[in-house]
Structure 1
């Protein structure tokens, strides 16, 4: 009986250990972005891309606010080649809570950065029809400046689609925006198809909070912004943005995610590495689906 118990325990340990190891690794990768400056966060993002086997390039720009110019840097890596490209993006900068003090910025948005890198690792092993360009933007928190500077520098002639991630630290419900213009309908449809095939909890928002996706939609690019929350929080946020005056929420109610981000509460206790892993897998699947559909092979 003891032998059987030990054997069963060993079998369970063999199954659970890789998952636990992955969770610890992803947690450590997200926690590494808790830095005193966004420059230090940029260095961390580039280091993680290199550790994953990529050769990232830092693209410097001058941004900041009108009364306080500030140097910024976008971090770019590519997978494969082709005449057109699909962008997979997230911002790595954290909001400044007071002069010289950053939010930990892990839900918003280090978890998304790590998920995008995980997606890039998956995509690198795929036979793709497009170049995949990974872009980690700076100065999103100052007004989508990094994304706008990238568009100014590179243009969108060769960009077939953009998949952006913002706020993907916890929960199993994927949120997606539907307010990026008619040119983005096929990207939204690809997300919806994937949700249906996987029987995932997904919530589409006719009005979705802005992220770097808005810089691309304003320039006419097909784009979707994706994020994760728990199911209740995702629906509460939907009601807050889309339910109108009769949304059923208590007067003055603020969804949890908005009490969390842009605050001192955006800390590692709110990050679930299982969500980061799920987001990376789903983002890779969305990009792969778009790659096939745009190439006319799906």
Structure 2
């Protein structure tokens, strides 16, 4: 999640927000989904690799960010997932900000596409930013939860969709420069690989691995897109991790409103349907202690499974 946008929101980003009043639990399980792999070894390996010290915090334009990008490209190529006609890489140059102030960043988004079987000309765009804040005050900020976790979740979904294609066509956009002002997402929307009118939904994963207590996977965006909530409400909890709806109403103020807190904001500003899935704040957010060893692999696997089931429900429920 973006430090710049968090700073614009009231309240400390380092305090776990405990109030979930008024949020509704999910309902009964939907019709059984296709059996998913019980082997999460690659999911965990992706998280470990992307949050390792040799990635140097994956800052935009830095060697660590380039290594993270090469790893993602390698994973997509190994899976045999095609690039869109515009190519695997989407480079950009944009004005952003760091702790010292404004500066120009050169970043690169990584793209992949899987054709749909039912609605081939409508796209679900799955996004996850692979950058983090790099090295600050001599300390590596590994960003295991923010957002190596979302990238690993998206790669797991890509793996499953390669084996069993979706109903809608799906674009995977592993975005750069989120921490510097949603730069990669903004460029994607400004220069999309398909017409914006053909994008049915942006599904954004940012911080999916951990929580301080009572882990929930929050769904932000159903207030703005109310037809999507009934599609997701039947999705059942997975091993102690459930969906929770909110952080998107006018009553959700300051740091408790996530409508523009991550890359989905660029789609929202363009008038496109969006949903954001992510966990709540924890004390290691944007600190050098956001490390792989803080993640409970079983909870992360459950959150990823819940993300997968949510995607399946949306893929089936859209454009009916």
Pairwise same-fold verdict (TM > 0.5): yes
Match of residue 273 from structure 2 = 222
How many residues were matched structurally?
A: 248
Q: 1:44/1:118 Cα in 2 relative to 1: closer, same or farther (>3 Å)?
A: same
Match of residue 132 from structure 1 = 170
Match of residue 68 from structure 2 = 41
* Paired residues of 2:237 and 2:306 also in contact (CA < 8 A): no
Q: How do residues 233-244 of structure 1 correspond to structure 2 at under 5 angstroms?
A: 234=280
Q: Does 1:74 align with 2:91?
A: no
Q: Deviations over 1:100-121 (max 9, x none)?
A: 8651011100011011110122
Instruction: State the secondary structure of the residue aligned to 1:282.
Output: helix
Q: Does 1:31 align with 2:48?
A: yes
Which protein is bigger by CA-based radius of gyration? Answer: 1
TM-superposed deviation, 1:195: 4.0
* Paired residues of 1:97 and 1:262 also in contact (CA < 8 A): no
Q: 1:186/1:292 Cα in 2 relative to 1: closer, same or farther (>3 Å)?
A: same
* Paired residues of 2:79 and 2:162 also in contact (CA < 8 A): no
Q: Does 1:60 align with 2:60?
A: no
Give the stretch that moved more between structures: 61-70 or 111-120: 61-70
Match of residue 294 from structure 1 = 318
Q: How do residues 80-229 of structure 1 correspond to structure 2 at under 5 angstroms?
A: 80-81=115-116, 82-98=120-136, 102-154=140-192, 155-170=195-210, 172-178=215-221, 182=224, 184-195=225-236, 201-206=242-247, 207=252, 208-209=257-258, 210-228=261-279
Q: 1:79/1:276 Cα in 2 relative to 1: closer, same or farther (>3 Å)?
A: farther
Alpha-carbon RMSD across the aligned residues, in angstroms, is 2.7
* Paired residues of 2:81 and 2:162 also in contact (CA < 8 A): no
Instruction: State the secondary structure of the residue aligned to 2:190.
Output: helix
* Paired residues of 1:58 and 1:73 also in contact (CA < 8 A): yes
Match of residue 3 from structure 1 = none
TM-superposed deviation, 1:277: 2.8
Structure 1 unaligned residues grouped into runs of 5+: 1-17, 229-233, 235-254
TM-score by length of 2: 0.69
* Alpha-carbon distance between aligned partners in 1 of 2:165 and 2:41, rounded to the nearest angstrom: 30
Q: Deviations over 1:264-288 (max 9, x none)?
A: 0111111233334333333332222
The structure richer in helix per residue is 1
Task: Give the number of the structure with larger relative contact order, counting CA–CA contacts within 8 Å between residues 6 or more apart.
Answer: 2
TM-superposed deviation, 1:200: 5.5
Instruction: State the secondary structure of the residue aligned to 2:92.
Output: strand
Give the stretch that moved more between structures: 61-70 or 78-87: 61-70
* Alpha-carbon distance between aligned partners in 1 of 2:293 and 2:166, rounded to the nearest angstrom: 37
Match of residue 264 from structure 1 = 288
TM-score by length of 1: 0.74
* Alpha-carbon distance between aligned partners in 2 of 1:198 and 1:276, rounded to the nearest angstrom: 10
* Alpha-carbon distance between aligned partners in 2 of 1:51 and 1:94, rounded to the nearest angstrom: 24
Match of residue 61 from structure 2 = none
* Alpha-carbon distance between aligned partners in 1 of 2:265 and 2:126, rounded to the nearest angstrom: 14
Q: How do residues 266-281 of structure 1 correspond to structure 2 at under 5 angstroms?
A: 266-281=290-305
